[in-house]
Amino acid sequence: MVNAFNPDNLAHLDAASRSAIERRIRLLGPAYRLFYQQPVDVSRGRGVRLYDRNGNEYLDAYNNVVSVGHAHPRVVEAVNAQMGRLCTHTRYIQDGILDYAEQLLSTFGGRIGSQGHMMFTCTGSEANDLALRIARHYTGRQGVIITSEAYHGNSFLTAGISPSLGNLSPLGAWVRRVAAPDSYRLSPAEIGQRMAEQVAAQIDELQRHGEGLAAFIADSVFSSDGIYTNPSDVLAPVAEVVRAAGGLFIADEVQSGFARTGEALWGYQRHGVDPDIITMGKPMGNGYPVAAVAVTHEAVKRFGSDQRYFNTFGGNSVAIAAAQATFDVIREERLQDNARQVGEFIRAGMRDIASRYPQIGDVRGAGLYIGVEMVSDADRKTPDAALATAIVNGLRERRVLISATGFSANVLKIRPPLVFSQNDASQLLSETEAVLAQLTARG
């Protein structure tokens, strides 16, 4: 079940919704999931708004894939124009992919910015899969360390490092986990050193079992773990331990990259880390499937000479046009500044609501990636997944879309398109308080 959707109980739905869901289950099978007790049917979108088949409008405070907004005209025009000219793979010389790679590399800083390379894929899962292959080839080892509730993809290899897929989704025998940097329950001063010590212990475990360490990989906002963005000195000591053991540090920027955190273009930059590999995807093409790996020359040199890499659709002409247009909009519309300012406004508003509702235990985040932790006991900081689910579904009934995350599924996840305005944020805040008032009145 995702946000309380239960495919075994459709009786409460209207006939049209029930028929559509039954048809979906019959045609797409049991592995697909829907959101919400009352799933949303969508037929079009524009900016931060979605519309169902009856023309009802929804405020989208969840979809980070369309980072510059649904159906942004610049991206639509770029994709349409390029499709009308040419769509082909990377085994031909084309200026577009080189121009885009050059622009991206200039934003990373460090070793990748000065002498690194770009490798293009279609999805973030593929990007993380390729990053692991490179790390294993470079180190000659297999082991990978992740955080406890991480999500890094859906390929065979990346599903093996994605515990958030569920307890019945097997992790690789070569995988070790460390606790997330829980800034709500731990002293901020001790989090970085504590995490580094846990990573060091897991490196010893991997070496003891003959795997050795190939890589540590983390999403710097720890989104599936519960969204932990501060303190931002957590990953630097971890990187030191990883490098001392001969492993590579992989910054998974699929969630936290492309200005999402507001404070930096890339999430890892908030932590002062110089990664060996950076992966990106999701918002890169504003809905068009495009993703990439950025890697130091040293890490990929032998991989590139020993193995060929080719991806039929990765980096194709249309994908690059979508990615370039998206990147242009992020810079020209100053969306990093917008993410910072509107994100601060939302967090301040949520803290104001928390002053009246002790069920909000913590408000955290960076830019337009925000977590609001719901608790049943503020003193004991007891997770309240049921309340989080009720709020998510209560907001859906008011046509405001968010989700939930975290090990206990009790953290409201707010990550709207980067074009989210202060007016949009005010609507989100007022509707959230209205839902809380309704739920607490019921007892």
Any idea where the domains of the chain sit in the sequence? 40-71+335-441, 73-333
pLDDT tens-digit readout, 305-334 = 998 899 999 999 999 999 999 999 999 999
% of the chain beyond a pLDDT of 90:
92
Query: What's the pLDDT score for residue 48?
Result: 98
Cα 19 off chain centre by: 32
Q: Find the helix or strand (DSSP H, E) in which 443 lies.
A: none
Q: 231 preceded by cis ω (within 30°)?
A: yes
pLDDT tens-digit readout, 360-389 = 999 999 999 999 999 999 999 999 999 999
Asked whether the predicted pLDDT for residue 2 surpasses 80, the reply is no
pLDDT tens-digit readout, 267-291 = 999 999 999 999 999 999 999 999 9
Return all residues near 297 (Cβ < 8 A) that are at least 6 apart. 111, 115, 116, 117
Instruction: Tell me if 350 sits within 8 A of 370, measured CB to CB.
Output: yes
pLDDT tens-digit readout, 18-39 = 999 999 999 999 888 899 999 9
Query: What's the pLDDT score for residue 220?
Result: 96
For every residue of 185-236, DSSP letters joined together read: TS-HHHHHHHHHHHHHHHHHHHHHTT--EEEEEE-TT-TTTT----SS-SHH
Query: What's the pLDDT score for residue 64?
Result: 94
Instruction: Tell me if 12 sits within 8 A of 4, measured CB to CB.
Output: no
Q: Which tokens is 141 given?
A: 């080892």
Instruction: Tell me if 293 sits within 8 A of 270, measured CB to CB.
Output: no
Q: Find the helix or strand (DSSP H, E) in which 104 lies.
A: helix 95-108
Q: Which tokens is 126 given?
A: 């593929």
Asked whether the predicted pLDDT for residue 177 surpasses 90, the reply is yes
Mean pLDDT within 136-148: 97
CATH of 40-71+335-441, one of 3.30.420.40, 3.90.1150.10, 3.40.630.40, 3.30.465.10: 3.90.1150.10
pLDDT band at residue 443 using 50, 70 and 90 as cut-offs: low
What's the chain's average pLDDT? Answer: 96
CATH architecture of the domain 73-333 equals 3-Layer(aba) Sandwich (3.40)
Strand 143-147 vs strand 213-218: parallel, antiparallel, or unpaired?
parallel
Letter string b/e over residues 244-256, b meaning 16 or more CB atoms within 10 A of that residue's CB: ebebbbbbbbbbb
